[in-house]
Amino acid sequence: MTPALTAATARRVLAQLRHDPRTIALIVLLPCVLLGLIAWMFHGTPVLDQFGPILVALFPLIVMFLVTSVATLRERTSGTLERLMASPLGKGDFVGGYALAFGVVAVVQALVVTGFAVWVCGMDVHGSLGAVVLVAVLDAVLGCTLGLAASAVARTEFQAVQMMPLIVFPQLVVCGLLMPRDEMPTVLEWISRAFPLTYGVDAMQHLAAGSSLGDVAGDVAVIVAFLAGAVVVGGLTLRRRTP
């Protein structure tokens, strides 16, 4: 892995996005629209304050997962990945470049979505707002890296799109959003601990209730570990030689 090549790859991915303003608009605006709908639906109730931060972490994860898995799959099917695998570019440069580029997008997305939730929808965060943004960014980057790892398994665009429900939905069901985790059957509670989204939701629940960044440091550390793990898996599943 070479920093200059990782950076060049990240710049190239960002240049591709720059040529596609509609995708940027979708990445940033779609979570806002969804959040706005929920704020409108539950207007006058404390639902937004309670669940808003969770959604701020959740929507970016799903959106970034989809964008990344399709982008990398396109790279596989267009032959550009084969060209790169025949070049001095390291596998880590490829995965790292994508994670870096979409990480930048994730920061923009998290800032806009959080700002929209707080200032437009009137979401009231009792805990640290900075920590909410941090967890949202980490979750969005986690979505990228999971998407990278998933696209390695997918052979076609159809499969890549199906990876989203396969990888994200089970996490959604047991992450504590539908039912508090301590009320779940024990086995499901155990399973929930193996999923990264659980820690993002846990952190956001605490932040909504008034916790500071220090209180959710454990959750943040676990998310970062999953993120790093997904980058490694993404790199390992890349093959210089293919059948």
Partner 1 sequence: MGNEELATAVDVAGLTVRRGPHTVLDGLDLRIPAGRVVGLLGPSGAGKTTLLRAIVGVQQVHGGRVTVLGRPAGAPELRRRVGYVTQAPSIYTDLTVTENLRYFATVLRAPSDDVDRVLDQVDLGRYARTRAGDLSGGERSRVSLAAALLGAPELLVLDEPTVGLDPVLRRDLWDLFGRLRDDGTSLLVSSHVMDEASRCDRLLLMRDGALVADATEAELLARTGADDVEHAFLALVEEGVR
Residues that bind partner 1 (CB under 8 A): 4-5, 8-9, 11-12, 15-16, 19-20, 78-80, 82-89, 240-243
Tokens (6 digits) for 226:
């999953």
Task: Return the structure tokens found at 196.
Answer: 């990264």
Cα dist from 13 to 6, 93, 102, 104, 198, whole Å: 11, 12, 8, 11, 30
Determine how many CB atoms are found less than 10 A away from the CB of residue 117.
27
Q: Which is nearer to partner 1, 16 or 159 (CB)?
A: 16
Compute the residue count for the chain.
Answer: 243
Distance in Å, CB of 140 to partner 1, minimum: 22
Q: Which is nearer to partner 1, 3 or 44 (CB)?
A: 3
How near is the Cβ of 82 to partner 1 at its closest, in Å? 6
Round to whole Å and give the CA distance between 75 and 230. Answer: 19
Q: CA separation (Å) from 96 to 36, 192, 220?
A: 33, 28, 20
CB of 10 to partner 1, least distance (A): 11
| DSSP 8-state symbol, 27 | H
**Which CB, 84 or 136, lies closer to partner 1?**
84
In the bound state with partner 1, the residue whose beta carbon lies nearer, of 19 and 178, is: 19
CB of 68 to partner 1, least distance (A): 16
Write down the least CB distance from residue 45 to partner 1, Å: 44
Contacting residues for 3 by C-beta, under 8 A, at least 6 apart:
none
Alpha-helical runs (H) found in 46-184: 47-78, 80-85, 91-115, 129-153, 157-174
State the minimum distance, in angstroms, from the CB of residue 67 to partner 1: 14
Amino acid identity at 69: S
* 87 versus 162: smaller Cβ distance to partner 1: 87
Rounded CA Rg of the chain? 18
Between 20 and 124, name the residue whose CB sits nearer to partner 1: 20
Based on CB atoms, which residue is closest to partner 1, 78 or 162? 78
Greatest Cα-to-Cα distance within the chain, rounded to the nearest angstrom:
59
Smallest gap, in angstroms, from Cβ of residue 222 to partner 1?
34
